[in-house]
Amino acid sequence: MLQNFIDKIRLSFRKEKEPYLCFYRILGFYPHNIRLYNQALLHKSSFVRSEKGKLINNERLEFLGDAVLDAIVAHLVYEHFSVKGEGFLTNTRSKIVQRETLNNLAEGLGLDKLIKSTSHVSSSHNSYLSGNAFEALIGAIYLDRGYKYCMLFIRKRIINKYIDLD
């Protein structure tokens, strides 16, 4: 609670409040490093470059977020189903982190409307945009706030709201 209060005070002094408020609505906490979250929404087709001319996109964050998401979902499934075996746990985790589920979660959070890409992205690849951005968002949370905040976000904003483990 104290940290959120401190973040709100810091926010009142920021020039551009809107991105912080947008991510607060999605995450339930204020980002420390807004650039990570903005990058999580950059598809490689957007051709955005850094000040040094390097292309910036969400692919590396997606890679990291995929691994973190797998670990957290495995942890939550392991806790929830205390008497189930490895095969059941693996299947349950797989259903939660499959592409279709991630796309639906991203759309539920409104990420699909925030992704920056060109309209020239092929329709087959386009079907992965939302889920990839969701994984990249998890990577951004992990780098910005750590594993604990990722766990809280997944538990409170995803599992409790969108997924019935039973």
Give the per-residue pLDDT at 128.
85
Give the pLDDT of residue 123. Answer: 47
Question: DSSP per residue over 102-152, as a string?
Answer: HHHHHHHHTGGGT-B--TTS-HHHHTTHHHHHHHHHHHHHHHHH-HHHHHH
**pLDDT tens-place string over residues 15-53:** 455 778 889 999 999 999 999 999 999 988 877 666 777
Q: What does the pLDDT read at residue 126? A: 62
Is residue 66 part of the annotated active site? The answer reads yes
Find out whether 95 and 83 touch, Cβ atoms under 8 Å: no
Structure confidence by residue, pLDDT tens digits, 114-161: 998 875 554 445 678 999 999 999 999 999 999 999 999 999 999 999
Average pLDDT over residues 5-14: 48
Q: What is the pLDDT of residue 44?
A: 83
Q: Is 166 a catalytic residue?
A: no
Q: Kindly name the residue from 7, 51, 70, 135 that is annotated as catalytic.
A: 135
Q: Is 42 helix (H, G, I), strand (E, B) or coil?
A: strand
